[in-house]
Amino acid sequence: MLQEEIMKLGEYFRGIEYFNDALIVKVQFPVQWKVFPTKDGFIKPANGDTQGEYFYYGNSNNVTLDDIFGVISETIALNKDAELKVQFLIDKRKELDELFKSTPFDKLKTLKFVFEEPKIEKPKRKYNKKKKEVQEANNDVNTAPEEEPKEATKEETA
């Protein structure tokens, strides 16, 4: 739905136009963000009148508004990811600065960068132990050899 796509773009969305068979979506991004055309070249960004303003456009015979909104959403996600990485790098650089100030050089030479793989929790199996125990007990009863009756001993009859 068009309204949902506009809401997804949120603060970046500025408008939609249709001009000479072209679908156009106007957005406003932070100045430092990068924009890219699609690999197939059907959807392209064009600079607007102000910094950070872009018009994503494509021929209406080849693309839909959903296609253009998808490219814009992907552009937003890529730029936000890049911002997070830059901020993370800045934070880690500060940590390294402190580490280098307080650690002898010989120990610093042993410094290694290692990734910890995130633990992926496996979904727990649904297992009904009681049901299995009852089934095994039934199997034991059905397969157990029949015992022959014992003769009564003197002690038992007394």
Condensed to tens digits (0 to 9), the pLDDT of residues 74-107 reads 999 999 999 999 999 999 999 999 999 999 999 9
Residue 141: predicted pLDDT: 57
pLDDT digits (tens, 9 = 90+) for 29-87: 999 999 999 999 999 999 999 999 999 999 999 999 999 999 999 999 999 999 999 99
Cα gap 91→85, rounded to integer Å: 10
For residue 119, what pLDDT band results from cuts at 50, 70 and 90? confident
Question: Which of 26, 34, 28, 23 has the alpha carbon at shortest distance from 59?
Answer: 23
Task: Please tell me whether residue 38 adopts helix, strand or coil conformation.
Answer: coil
Coil, strand, or helix at residue 50? Answer: coil
Helix (H) or strand (E) holding 19: strand 13-19
Residue 129 pLDDT > 70 = no
Q: What percent of the chain is predicted at pLDDT more than 70? A: 78
Query: What's this model's pTM, rounded to 2 decimal places?
Result: 0.67
- Distance, CA of 33 to CA of 101 (rounded, Å): 34
How big is the chain by its Cα radius of gyration, in Å? 35
Spell out a b/e string for 55-88, using b for 16 or more CB atoms within 10 Å of the CB, else e: bbbbeeeebebebbbbbbeebbeebeeeeeeeee
- Answer yes or no: is pLDDT of 14 > 90: yes
